[in-house]
Structure formats: structure tokens, C-alpha cells
Amino acid sequence: MSAESARTIALPGGEEIAALGQGTWYLGEDPARREQEIAALRLGVDLGMTVVDTAEMYGDGAAEELVGEALRGRREEVFLVSKVLPGHADRKGTVAACEGSLRRLRTERLDLYLLHWRGRWPLEETLAGFTDLMEAEKIRYWGVNEPLGVLLGVMPWNFPLYQVVRFAGPNLVLGNTILLKHASSCPQSALALEQLFTDAGVPTGVYTNLFVRGRDVGKIIDDSRVQGASLTGSERAGVSLGESAGRNVKRSVLELGGSDPFVVLDDHNLERTVYAAFLGRMGNTGQCCVAAKRFIALADVYDAFVTGLRDRMSEVQPGDPVDPATTLGPLSSEAAADLLMEQVRDAVDKGATVVLGGGRPDLPGAFVEPTLLTDVTPDMRAYREELFGPVATVYRVADEDEAVALANTSPYGLGGAVFAAEPERARGVADRLEAGMVWINHPTASRPELPFGGIKRSGYGRELGDVGIVEFANRKLVRYVDADAPIEEVLG
């Protein structure tokens, strides 16, 4: 984003702050500026109030097509900026090194969501109306999905581009406009996405990036013009946002933590099952809400499964993320690594067996060794808490009933996976798992055409698919009665 695009906004009292693009507000940390910061937030909300003028224009996915075209023309610059640290001594070298690792994300995810979203469901039914529900002689019923207006999105750092797109995409298709508060640790991703909208010619206010502190999110939700909020992040943040939304009687969607079970019922194609477990646990260095974290194996396959998973995890090579030989990067921060090690040490101190790892490698950065724990018991933190990193726990169970009971002891209920040769057997276990999503013979994942979300402490509501697009829609019922028809009894 060029310096020429910067402008200033006058705040109450005559002071000014810098604003970039479509409303990126750089707010100070000085408590004395609190009222001025609130004023800046209000200005940001004002930018989002073009929904009345733009909903009809962009309700058919035109905004996504404009942004998608801009993405296709500048994809290298846009995707690489999210990974390159400011002030890096070898910026060009880092960009080149990152290119290969980002190729899959480019080709399989962002193009799909930004450019082709509108083809993932029947818009003529989902957006124009869900067809006549009943037609009698002089009475008709039909429904219409209408946008609610301005929505706030609070998005996480672990998938800084994809998470934003899957929230913004369907809501812009519907006709809502977006205020986006990204995680404080990935401002470059926030700026890159906003710049795409600017370069595509999308009117100011359709997508507005806000650099605000987490504790100020409630002020935005309190504004009567904001109609709903969606958060992907920690349980603590979700509780706070949900409380604010509930107090204001506004819709919200929460996608929070997870401690997904991965249930192994037999030894059919065990090498494939072990590989699936490895990918499900180690993807994104284990920093994924829907990652497999608790592996539950029946007794007759337990030993072979533990051995196979240990061997797979031991092959991982930690190191510099820009080194092609590296297969395990650091965690997001030292605080994250410290928390994970506290959970591991707590388990070991209380009797858990360390099959692999259990420490931190002698490398600069927030690295944690790939760790495999067994003999984990309910008194350990690792039994009930989410392990957000390359740490797996494996449990031995006698039968399917014990597997289901153990899987359902978690306070979370995001996803789960069941592996078995017999479809009916796998389906029987899947149907009993307390989770928002269960995949059979594949690690839990997300796809644009499938609803995504959880239950229990993992949150509520759904993203993606034909379900996700109407989370922030007014599903209006319209009933037509002929002007000469008799009046029916009125019940409320």
C-alpha cells in the first residue's frame, strides 16, 4: 500500500490519525486517547454503512468476481506479503523461498473461494427465494433471503488469508458488508486482503479493515448499525463476543477450540490410517482448531498404531521455515510454546508415558518437539484441554462403546474422524460422536460446499455451504392472501 494512499481523519479535539485504503485505523495505546479511539471506531462503522446502496449490486457475487480478478493478476505479491516479515534483511530471498509453500493455498483455496464461490450452490433458490412453500387456490407462501447489513468479523492468525475469505465471501454474495478485525500478529495479511478489494474497484465500505484492540470489539458490536458478528479464535474471545452479541440481541457465529477424536476401529490399510493421523495432527504445526488431537484405538490395533504414528512423527525435521529441508516450523509465539510445554510436563509429572519427544529442540524460535503421549488420565491437563501444537495423545479402548464414551468426555465438539473397513460400523460410531462434523476414513477438514462448525465449547453456528451463507440472512416469509379471501383465525 503506497504512502500516497494515506489520508488523515480529524478526531474530536482537533487531533488526527492516519487512515489507509478503505478504513484501516491505526489507533494509539495511550488510555488518554480512549474517546478519540471510540470516535475512530465509529468512523469505521460509518464506512460499512453502504449496504443499502450496494446489496442489490453485489448480491450476485460481483464483488467476489472483482476481487478474484485482482487476485489472479497480483497473486504472487498478495500471498507472499502475508509471510514476509517487515524489515527482513533478505526480503527478496524470503519471498522466493516462500513461493513454493504457498502454491497449494493459491491454487486450491483462494481462487475457489474468491472467484468461484457463486457456483457452489443454486443461487436462484438460495438468494432469490426458497421457492413457493405452498400454493393453494388463493393463498401463496414464499421466502426471501435478505442481507442483514453490516457484519463484524474477528479472525485468527493461524490461517490468516483463508479464514477471512471464507467468512467474507458468502456474506458479500448475500449482500452484507464487512468490518474485519484481524489478529494483531498478522497485519500484513489484513492489509493485503483489503488492498485486493481496493484494487478491484469495490466501493468504499464493502470491506473495511479495522486495526483495533480485542477489548474494543464490544464497542463495535454495541453500535446499533452493526447487525451481527462472527469470530474464529479462542474460547475466551468467543465468550466475550458472544456475551456482547447476546446483550445486544444480535446474531453471532463462534468457531472456537477443538480437541477432535480420531477413532481407529480396525487394522485395515493401517499404513494409510497412520498417515492420515500424522497429517491430521501435524498440519500447520498442529495449530489448527479442527486437527486430530486425541487418537483412540481399539486394543487389537493399538500397539501397531502407536508404533506407526511414532515412526511417522519422528521423521519430521524442525528448522528454518524457508529451508526446503524443513518439515516442522515453530509455533506462533514463545507464549504458545510455553503453554504447550506446561501441558506436556503436567501429563508427564502425573504418570503419562512419553513415546516420542517431550521437549524443545535446541533451535532459535518457538519450537516444540513432535511429541507422542500415552497413558493420559482424566487428572491431567492434556486429557481435557486443547493441545495447540505438535503433541498427540493416544488412548487404548476395549470396544466401540468405550471409544465413543472417551471421545465424548471432551468439553469440545468441533470435529472427529472414524477409520474402519466396514461402512456401517464406521457410520454407527460416527452417529454417536458429539461433534459438529465427523469424517469417515479421512482426517477432518473443510470444503467450501460443506457446512463447518461445532457444538459444546467449540461454539455454535456454521460457516461454508448452503447453511453458512444464511447465518446472517433475514429468511423472510411472505404470505399472499387474495384481497377477497376470508380472514382466518389469528394466532400468535
Q: Which residues are catalytic?
A: 255, 289
Phi (first) and psi of residue 228, to 5 degrees = -175, 170
Cα 134 to Cα 380: distance, rounded to the nearest angstrom: 56
Q: At 114, which amino acid appears?
A: L
Cα 97 to Cα 322: distance, rounded to the nearest angstrom: 5
Q: What's the CA angle centered on 392, arms 296 and 284, to 5 degrees?
A: 120
Phi (first) and psi of residue 143, to 5 degrees = -130, 155
The HSE-up count of residue 28 (CA atoms within 13 Å, CB side) is 13
Q: Could you tell me the three cell numbers for 325? A: 529441508
Cα 441 to Cα 438: distance, rounded to the nearest angstrom: 10
Could you tell me if 253 and 455 are in contact, meaning their C-beta atoms sit under 8 angstroms apart?
Answer: no
Q: How far is CA 295 from CA 104, 265, 376, 481, in A?
A: 27, 11, 11, 58
Q: Of 361, 332, 362, 358, whose CA–CA distance to 345 is shortest? A: 358
Q: Of 333, 290, 309, 264, whose CA–CA distance to 436 is shortest? A: 290
Residue owning grid cell 492420515 = 276
Cα 33 to Cα 31: distance, rounded to the nearest angstrom: 5
Q: How far is CA 440 from CA 86, 227, 308, 456, in A?
A: 42, 37, 20, 21
